Chain A
Amino acid sequence: MSGRRQIRWHIAVFLAPAVLVYTAIMIVPLFGTLNLSLFNQTPERTTEFVGLSNFRTLFGDPRWSGAFWNALGNNAWFFVVHMLVQNPIGILLAALLSSPRLRMAAFYRTAIFIPTILSFVIVGFVWKLILSPIWGIAPGMLDVVGLKSLFAPWLGKEDYALTALALVSVWQFVGIPMMLIYAALLSIPDEVLEAAEMDGITGMSQFWKIKLPLILPSIGIISILTFVGNFNAFDLIYVAQGALAGPDFSTDILGTFLYRTFFGFQLQLGDPHMGATIATAMFGIILIGVCIYLFGIQTRLRRYQF
């Protein structure tokens, strides 16, 4: 306790490498960029401070705000699909994998995680091939089961393209919630489960009543990681549909909107100032989401932890 008064150098030593690298390579460049949102280029090619006027353009000018809300709405749907499909499937697979005496568990675990290690370049290309109306893998397979009529060129239809891509993304990343939940399930002490079995709680009801509450904190972490990941997503849409996020901007999410604005596309010149404005708005959205999680949800989840 006498150490309280001294300078505890070891804290600084523990923190220094991370803080230094992170500050120099990430924070300084990033804030340099976000700072751009408060400036504009004048016709004389100098920059002038314009306060919040770029934000007024983004939310006030119908051309900008229309694109922004479209991207935000699409992004929200992208997230919803992940929460409703990816995470439940991940939990289901983990629950099955963790059941005792399951044969070939290692094989399943390994196989299901494989899509996660593939790059977006590969994933985008493969799924475009499979869903292609020309190459015929998806229509051919539907034909075999007599459902050819269900096939549509999904990636080219405004109504389906975003959902189709969200499901591709789910396919790619389902391994992550699966692994995290799997680890959480395995770390539940045997005594707890034995006690439950003594009380006659087994099988499904054991999962719902005993295991699920115990893995809630992990589900919480997964949810927030999914949220942050989805709202920063860019690559899959870009690889599959290009920077214009067709058809008719129906797959445009914040990441592609930002990329197009910041770096430009084809004849459209990059606009770092409006790009930075969008980036700041994205940052705000994610910050709000994370705060809701940290202060609203996580504190409540903590009660269940051992």
Chain B
Amino acid sequence: MTTRTLRIALLTSTLLAGAAQAQDVTLTIESWRNDDLTIWQDTIIPAFEAQNPGIKVVFAPSAPAEYNAVLNSKLDAGSAGDLITCRPFDASLELYNKGKLADLTSLAAMANFSPVAKSAWQTDDGAATFCVPMASVIHGFIYNADAFAQLGIEVPKTEAEFFAALDKIKADGTYIPMAMGTNDQWEAATMGYNNIGPNYWKGEEGRLALIKGEQKLTDPQWVAPFTQLAKWKDYLGDGFEAQTYPDSQNLFTLGRAAIYPAGSWEISGFNAQAQFKMGAFPPPVAAAGDTCYISDHTDIALGLNAASPNADQAKVFLEWVGSPEFATLYANALPGFFSLNSTPVEMADPLAQEFVSWRDKCQSTIRSTYQILSRGTPNLENETWNASANVIKGTETPEAAAERLQAGLASWFAPQQ
């Protein structure tokens, strides 16, 4: 029995390989977006294949948590797919430096992207770009509009209004004021610290000053977001310490919580599951009239495996990914992933429109920990997860957390020493 199955297994693999060589070229995409599998299979890939006979595309995602480890192993051994979904900044830069990702600077479609859009997938000097930008995600808060109407709450614009609204929801008792847990840690950092933080460190200004070593994480503008987070504790649900990310999502979409600190990627899932009206507001500012800053984070791009035997066909696909056509398709199939293409994209989803409208009235920045600062050990981003969760739980004071992060960063990052 074993020999037979072996023979079948070997036979199928040769058949598959043989078929691929005979005429059609099959391109495989490595990705961590397993949520999007159906959208790629049903919408995006058919659109491409219809225009490009002879090229077949397979979307082969793995779970986000394992993606980096799996991808690196496959690249090292030479079994990775032709197209590689790129994490922003250092993870992909490292792959490029090791020669795993091909240089795509000469791709015609690169002209469709602004320097800011490309910055997450370039060498430090900006000379080479190695991934085609696909989308960014915007942070903010999604709220249950029915609940707000029922309790007579206006959408908060300032910190004071924000906490007044939370107090009101809490006093009423029908809803958990805010749906967030610390079990998975990254929510605290991503939807907490990096969501509200840019208003305090003034977006790009603070972020770049940190990289140059002109500001420290112990400066007031960097401690302030932690001080805010420490206040959130009272508004989270019972047992938030063990609440996971899916728990939070379910709490909100089941209508049990009023406010959800969000990333725009939640939109399509929430649309499908929530049976109430939703709205969104940007992180509240300290005082009315202050300039607002939002985290508009370049999150996802597509690169070419330098060892791909189908580089020519893969480039055809990448040119298409860089086209306005793809941008419209992608942004509408996945509302909340905002196109980085310079050509404006029409989006049908109202919640997505709300998020993207903040780009006009607020200053955009990216997550503070992503560029350059998470290159060493200890890793600033991972430390920030831990620190943000601790601060929300109250097991570490904002000052102590900031001090720990600063000490860790200074231990390897020369401009901070």
Chain A residues within 8 Å of chain B by Cβ, number? 34
Q: Is B227 an interface residue (CB 8 A)?
A: no
B291 within 8 A of A: no
Within 8 Å CB of A249, what residues of B? 386
Main secondary structure of the interface of A (DSSP, over half): loop
List A residues 127-168 near B (Cβ within 8 Å). Answer: 128, 131-135, 152-158
* B90–A246 CB distance below 8 A: no
Contact with A along B64-86 (1 / 0, CB 8 A): 01001100110000000000000
Chain B positions within 8 Å of A220 at CB level: none
- Determine the chain B residues whose CB is within 8 A of the CB of A263 once the complex forms: 68-69, 72-73
Is the beta-carbon distance between A270 and B240 smaller than 8 angstroms?
Answer: no
Q: Which of B98, B184, B240, B375 contacts A246 (CB 8 A)?
A: B184
Report B-chain residues with C-beta under 8 Å of the C-beta of A271: 377
A247 at interface, CB cutoff 8 A: yes
Q: Which of B11-19, B151-159, B355-363, B387-395 contacts A (4 or more CB under 8 A)?
A: B387-395
A267 touches B379 (CB 8 A): yes
Q: Which of A182-190, A210-218, A237-245, A294-302 forms contacts with chain B?
A: A237-245
Q: Could you mark each residue 264-281 of chain A with 1 if its beta carbon is under 8 Å from any beta carbon of chain B, else 0? A: 111111110010000000
Query: Of B242, B247, B374, which one neighbours A154 at CB under 8 angstroms?
Result: B242
- In the bound complex, how far is the Cα of B66 from the Cα of A264, in angstroms? 10
Max count, chain B CB within 10 A of own CB: residue among A132, A268, A270: A268
Q: How far, in angstroms, from A154 to B184 measured CA to CA in the complex?
A: 14
Indicate if the CB atoms of A270 and B68 lie closer than 8 Å: yes
A101 within 8 A of B: no
Measured as residues with beta carbon below 8 angstroms from the partner, the interface class of chain B is 35 or more
- Least Cβ distance of A141 to chain B in Å? 15
Residues of B within 8 A of A156 (CB): 181-183, 239-243, 393
* Distance of A248 Cα from B396 Cα, bound (Å): 10
Q: Are A134 and B247 in contact, CB atoms less than 8 angstroms apart?
A: yes
The answer to whether B242 and A153 have CB atoms under 8 Å apart is yes
B379 and A63 contact, CB distance less than 8 A: no
Q: Does B382 contact A (CB under 8 A)?
A: yes
A267 & B369 in contact (Cβ 8 Å cutoff)? yes
The answer to whether A242 and B184 have CB atoms under 8 Å apart is yes
B273 at the binding interface (Cβ < 8 Å):
no
Q: Does A45 contact B (CB under 8 A)?
A: yes
Q: Mark B183-200, 1 if CB is under 8 A from A, else 0.
A: 111100000000000000
Give chain A residues whose Cβ lies under 8 Å from the Cβ of B377. 63, 268, 271, 274
Complex contact B243–A153 (CB within 8 A): yes
Instruction: Assess whether B385 is in contact with A153, with CB atoms less than 8 Å apart.
Output: no
From the candidates A132, A242, A244, A268, name the one contacting B374 in the complex (CB within 8 A). Answer: A268
C-beta contact mask, A230-261 vs B, less than 8 Å → 1, else 0? 00000000000111101111000000000100
Given contacts A158-B395, A264-B72, A267-B381, whether A242 and B65 have CB atoms under 8 Å apart is: yes
Known contacts A246-B386, A267-B374; 17 additional CB pairs below 8 A are A45-B97, A63-B377, A63-B378, A132-B247, A133-B243, A153-B241, A154-B242, A156-B241, A247-B182, A247-B185, A263-B72, A264-B72, A266-B379, A267-B89, A267-B90, A269-B91, A270-B69
Residues of B within 8 A of A (CB): 65, 68-69, 72-73, 87, 89-91, 94, 97-98, 181-186, 237-244, 247, 250-251, 369-370, 374-375, 377-382, 385-386, 389-390, 393, 395, 408, 411
- List 4 tightest A-B contacts by C-beta distance, closest first: A133-B239, A156-B241, A153-B242, A156-B242
